[in-house]
Amino acid sequence: MNNKILTLLLVASALPAFAQTTPSTQQPRPANEQVVVPQVERRDVKLPKFPSKDFEVGAFAGVYSTENFGASGIYGLRIGYHITEDFFVQANLAQTKVSDAAFRQLLPGGGIFPEEEQKLTYYNLSAGWNILPGEGFIGANRAKATAVYLLAGIGSTKLVERRRQTMNFGIGMRMLLADRAGLHLELRDHVFSTDLLGPRQTTHNIELTGGFAWYF
């Protein structure tokens, strides 16, 4: 009886050591293992297309003063592209009327033009630089984005059925009234040469216009 008890005690003491030496068939689970793998169906998402508002179209009107022939109203169209926040390009097409009525009163043989009134048209391509971007206030509580800019470009002026290469220089101010609409005020000097009064001379023709623009 004592031998059986002794045998049982030896077997019981050897079981923990045997369990430690027996290799485990179950691998340990990583600490960052995801327990539940979600089954989410992927779908195509269309990104919204926001307008860049780099392009502009607009119209303008004002006064064009032709050297030696007085001033008259002018109107035209404008398109532009804003390359960066500071620089842009702009193309204009405009029309006005020129009169030689003052010369007809002085010259007994008639005036300078075949007819008293002649149509003057021009087109040009200019580059602009926003030199003073900022804000303008309408009343006490409304602030609108504004910019003062310089302009210079080249184009052509047609008067009395002849075209003359024209340089233009100017300054302007732009105010954005809404997200896509704005107002312009510009002062330009259109410089071209003419021989209508005899020897060819360079003339400076001042233009003051205001207009609106739509951005997209």
Beta-bridge partner residues of 163: 158
pLDDT in tens, 66-118: 999 999 999 999 999 999 999 999 999 999 999 998 888 887 777 899 899 99
pTM for the predicted model, two decimal places: 0.75
- Beta carbons of 16 and 22 less than 8 angstroms apart: no
Domain residue ranges in the chain: 55-215
Domain topology for 55-215: Porin (2.40.160)
Helix (H) or strand (E) holding 190: strand 181-194
Q: Using CB atoms within 10 A of its CB, is residue 128 exposed (0-12), middle (13-18) or buried (19+)?
A: buried
pLDDT in tens, 46-58: 665 656 789 999 9
